[in-house]
Structure 1
Amino acid sequence: MKTFIAIGYVWPEPNSSAAGSRMMQILLLMQKSGFRVVFASPAEDSAHAIDLESIGIEKHSIRLNCSSFDQWVRAQSPDVVMFDRFMMEEQFGWRVEKHVPDALRLLDMEDVHCLRDARHRAVKAGRNLSADDWHTDMAFREVASILRCDLTLVISEFEMIWLQDHFPIHASKLLYTPFMVNSADAEGLSRRFSDSDFEVRGGFVSIGNFRHAPNWDAVLQLREIWPDIRRRLPDAELNIYGAYPPKKAMQLDKPELGFRVRGWASDAYQVIAEAKVMLAPLRFGAGLKGKLLDAMLVGTPAVTSSLGAEGMYGGCDQAAVVADDRDAFIDAAERLYSSRSEWESRSAAGYKLAIERFNDADHGPNITATIDRLCVGLERHRGQDFVGGMLRHHSLKSTQYMSQWIEAKNK
């Protein structure tokens, strides 16, 4: 049996973040395609992590800057090793290359971290992005990681193009790997919430892991615009959910204003389906927005920014209302909340688009076929990749030497 190892930045928490959900989609896809799947991480265990072993995925704790990993990965004899974000590739990529050189090395970006970081810095500085924003330490590290790996999984079509436009990355190094929706699961959600129509639903909803900076910023944006929405819709409530709510977030809860900070949601689909409209005024970030996909699947129309819509809707202007201007966002929220005809039209369009655009029956076979093809022709693939080979050359292996120095120092 072939072996697939994922080296995770954290243990997967599909109920806490979209990144956790997507990681599980990839792991289950590889398991379904016949791989023995192993998930390893140097992170501390989490009470909110999924029980991997209960679904047949092996779990192993590994240590940073420790040669114990070398013996372990050799014993596993993997066919494919996937690094969860470039930080894990920096830590373990050279060890994988040295001790299991014939394993295909994948990088799962989750999103483009240097793009998210640049946008965050621009928002804080109150300016537009410029070319200088890409010449950062994070960009150098992340792009170097892409070039060292055999293949990188990119979650967004926008980011597929953006990476090639801004950096010397060939298309053969990238594979579009978005969220994947199972048709049967989607149909189950549709049946579950079939009675949740326009008249039954009430209020607005926002959801997102509070530890993720774009989500926290969105909460602060909602705090500013909610009084204007509330004046137009005096009986409406906004319910804000998310994993790991800090004290400063819970202190924003104002029942008298209909601004409710609820914290953890035991069932994200349920709380989204109970709401009439989702609000997602995201000002920075990257990747795809799991909250917006969840909203489409349960028929909850959304108002979001152009950044929130990036890579989500594929040009379909009926699935959500996109508004960047404050007044336009407020107008859209009121209109979508009040207009049954527009609500029903966007609700139906969103569900249809989610099934068509993110269907696992389309994306799953493409991912596994690409991995199989590269595994068979790995030597040729690497032979055509001069830049990747150059970056893996011993004179540029700073991450390896730093790790070995730390390991020696710790002894």
Structure 2
Amino acid sequence: MALLGHIDHLSRQHIVGWAWNPDVPGVPVSLVISVDGRVIGRCLADRHRLDLVAEGIGDGRHGFEFRPPEYMISRLARSEIAVRREGDSAHLPTSPRMLDPVTVFDADLEGRLAQLIVEVEDDADLDRRLGFLTEQTQRLRQVRADRQRRPASAAFVRPRALVVDTVMPVHRRDAGSNAILSHMRSLQRLGYAVSFAPTDLTGDAAALEADGIACCLHPWYATIEEVLRRNAGAFALVYLHRVDTAGRYSQLVRDTQRGARLVYSIADLHHLRTARQAEIEDRADLAAYAEHLRFLELTAARAADVVITHSTHEATLLRRHVPAEQVHVVPWAVAPRPTAVPFADRRGLAFIGGYGHRPNIDAARFLIEAVMPAVSFEPAIPCLLVGSGMPESLRTLAAARLGVEAIGQVAELACVFDRVRLTVAPLAYGAGVKGKVVDSLAAGVPCVCTPAAAEGLDLPEPLAGLIAETAADLARSITALHEDEALNRACSEAGLAYVTDRLNEKRIDSLIGTATGRPRVVEPVSEKP
């Protein structure tokens, strides 16, 4: 018996074609589909197709379509697909056809592997599968690390820098985030290919990766140790931010990144802040803890090639224990964003800080209970408390004081700077450079500071004249700055000039370059024709 036909489309999910017996033209052909000699299904060639009508093949009702049962055709092996007529097993013309193994890791292959993984026979089989998958996972992780190690182009090789911090930085969330983001961008401009790893290996990496910073996260890495070992010898520079990070990983960096420049960025000296708190609160336990922190911080500093601090005061302290040439003062870049709201349309003052930080809570209480009562205005000028993590006890205290308003966290500080004539930072103790003081100056809003809040900034006149320590002196500075438009303008201009001159990207790049050693970007020597 004659058999005409064709396999038009063949895949593991879909087989389409036509079959016709001209000896019995009105009878649909029954077909058997097999894979490597094993029958997987049957179908009738009875679908109407206009192309068959146009070609004059019977009445056109000779098409067939078959969808193989899921996973019946192996994706990992080469398979022979046969379409035969039922009864005499005659092959359809173009049958059999071969399907090559799948080399693409698509959703179908994922599904098949997932099914194989869970179909466990016994504990021994489970152990064997776990062992195999663990081994393959380790291989893939290493492949990924190796791919990141390779330069994007053989014509342009950039040295790699790894930056490690305790958390994923978020733009404008806090001073620590702003500092680390600024320094990473400087490293990029200096020619480094920058990678970042938070110690918990979690977080939203979208913003960093959009800026060209590769992130080392779960599930690609399980620990910072794995990041360093899988990339052994890959980094020319490793930047460890904060003492927790430097204390845990400095030696591991030395072991895995031979020849790399090790940078310890202190953020601020924790032992200094804790010792000051211990003195104010007369607490022997805190004083002992401060000594412990001092040991950890100085040990980390001595282990590094370079120590970065934002504060000139802390640089002086560190140079008593570490070679002076290893200690570098490097602030972070801040762009001037002066408020456009005129002085006459603004009123009051603001205290800005994160209230998860104990010195800020103490400062807010001091402001409410001691400073603002000494500021005599009728009616009372607004005093805004701004920042995240404000405890209920502080909100209650603010509500009981005329003119004090607990705002809490705001999306953008610009909305605060557009309301007030000045900010205040009445910290009794602390360490490092205070980010919100810098933010206020960048907005053209002068800041009345205690010596602790202004420490390490080296503020010029007339800004230095706003520094006061007692409640009465702080109140006098607040009053003068709030009522004297000329003084306010002079301080505003001085603050903007300070930010423009000292915190611009070009200067930060120069300071980072001096501290870290400018990388040598390797470019090919052009060949003469």
Equivalent position to 2:217, from 45, 51, 61: 61
Distance 1:342 1:270 in 2: 23
CA 1:64–1:284: 2 relative to 1, 3 Å:
farther
- What's the secondary structure of 1:61's corresponding residue? coil
- Counterpart of 1:156, as a letter, is S
Of the three residues 136, 141, 144, the one matched with 2:291 is 136
Q: 2:254 aligns with which of 97, 101, 105?
A: 97
SS in 2 for 1:39: strand
Deviation at 1:374, TM superposition (A): 8.8
Distance 1:142 1:64 in 2: 27
* Residue 158 of structure 1 pairs with residue 303 of structure 2: no
* Equivalent residues in 2 for 1:278-297, closer than 5 Å: 278-297=423-442
From 11, 14, 18, the equivalent of 2:175 is 18
For 2:255 and 2:410, the matched residues in 1 are separated by: 44
Deviation (angstroms), 1:351 = 1.3
Classify 1:54/1:318 alpha carbon distance in 2 versus 1 (closer, same or farther; 3 Å): same
Q: Which runs of 4+ in 1 moved over 4 A?
A: 44-47, 62-67, 132-135, 373-376
Q: Secondary structure at the match of 1:79?
A: strand
Aligned-partner Cα distance in 1 for 2:393–2:167? 24
- C-alpha change, 1:38 and 1:373, in structure 2 (3 Å) is closer
Distance in 1, matches of 2:415 and 2:313, equals: 30
* AA at the equivalent of 1:173: Q
Q: CA deviation at 1:201?
A: 1.0
Say whether residues 1:180 and 2:337 are aligned partners.
no
Report how far residue 42 of structure 1 moved.
Answer: 2.1
Counterpart residue number, 1:402: none
2:415 maps to which of 262, 267, 270 = 270
Instruction: Give the corresponding residue for 1:2.
Output: 159
**Paired residues of 1:226 and 1:259 also in contact (CA < 8 A):** no
SS in 2 for 1:13: coil
What root-mean-square deviation, in Å, do the aligned CA atoms of Structure 1 and Structure 2 show?
2.8
Amino acid aligned to 1:71:
R
Matches within 5 A, 1:2-401: 2-43=159-200, 45=202, 51-61=207-217, 67-74=225-232, 77-125=234-282, 136-165=291-320, 168-181=321-334, 185-186=335-336, 189-190=337-338, 193-194=339-340, 196-225=341-370, 227-229=372-374, 231-254=376-399, 257-318=402-463, 321-372=466-517
Q: Residue 44 of structure 1: CA displacement?
A: 6.8
Q: Distance in 1 between matches of 2:170 and 2:185?
A: 14
Pair 1:256–1:147, CA change in 2 (3 A): closer
**Is the Cα contact below 8 Å between 2:201 and 2:216 reproduced in 1?**
no
Looking at structure 1, the residues matched to 396 and 173 of structure 2 have their Cα atoms a distance apart, in angstroms, of 21
Kindly indicate whether the alpha-carbon contact (under 8 Å) linking 2:271 and 2:290 is maintained by their aligned counterparts in 1: no
Q: If each structure's helix is expressed as a fraction of its own residues, which one has the higher value?
A: 1
1:291-341 CA distance string (max 9 Å, x none): 111111111111110111112234434366111011111122122111222
Structure 1 counterpart of 2:281, which letter? Answer: K
User: RCO greater where, 1 or 2, for CA within 8 Å and sep 6 or more?
Assistant: 1
Task: Report if aligned partners of 1:320, 1:350 keep a CA contact under 8 Å in 2.
Answer: no
Cα distance, 1:66 vs structure 2:
7.3
CA distance in 1, matches of 2:329, 2:519: 15
Q: Is the 8 A contact 1:292 1:302 kept in 2?
A: yes
Partner of 2:418, secondary structure, is helix
1:362 shift after superposition:
2.2
* Greater C-alpha radius of gyration: 2
Offset of 1:233 from its aligned partner? Answer: 4.3
Moved more, 241-250 or 302-311: 241-250
Shift of 1:3: 0.9
Measured in 1, the distance between the counterparts of 2:502 and 2:294 equals 29
> Closer, same or farther in 2 for the Cα pair 1:321/1:50, shift >3 Å?
farther
Query: Equivalents in 1 of 2:260, 2:391: separation in Å?
Result: 41
Distance 1:346 1:227, change over 3 A: closer
Identity %, equivalent residues: 22
Q: 1:106 to 1:123 in 2, by over 3 A?
A: same
Amino acid at match of 1:84: H
Q: Cα distance, 1:134 vs. partner? A: 10
Query: When the two structures are aligned, how many residues end up with a matched partner?
Result: 361
For residues 222 and 430 of structure 2, the distance between their equivalents in structure 1, rounded to whole angstroms, comes to 28
Structure 2's unaligned 5+ residue stretches are 1-157, 522-529
Note if contact 1:16-1:209 (Cα within 8 Å) is conserved in structure 2. no
In structure 1, the residue matched to 2:27 is none
Distance 2:492 2:313 in 1: 24
Amino acid at match of 1:174: V
Question: Is the 8 Å Cα contact of residues 205 and 278 (structure 1) preserved in structure 2?
Answer: yes
**TM-score (normalised: structure 1):** 0.80
Identify the residue that residue 18 of structure 2 maps to in structure 1: none
SS in 1 for 2:298: helix
Preserved contact between residue 150 and residue 173 of structure 1 (Cα < 8 Å): yes
Amino acid aligned to 1:218: A
Matched position secondary structure for 2:231: helix
CA distance in structure 2 between the aligned counterparts of 1:60 and 1:204, rounded to whole angstroms = 42
> Deviation digits for residues 19-73 of structure 1, max 9, x if unmatched?
11111100111112221111101237457x8821222211123789775344333
Q: For residues 124 and 50 of structure 1, do their structure 2 counterparts lie closer, same or farther at Cα, with a shift above 3 Å needed?
A: farther
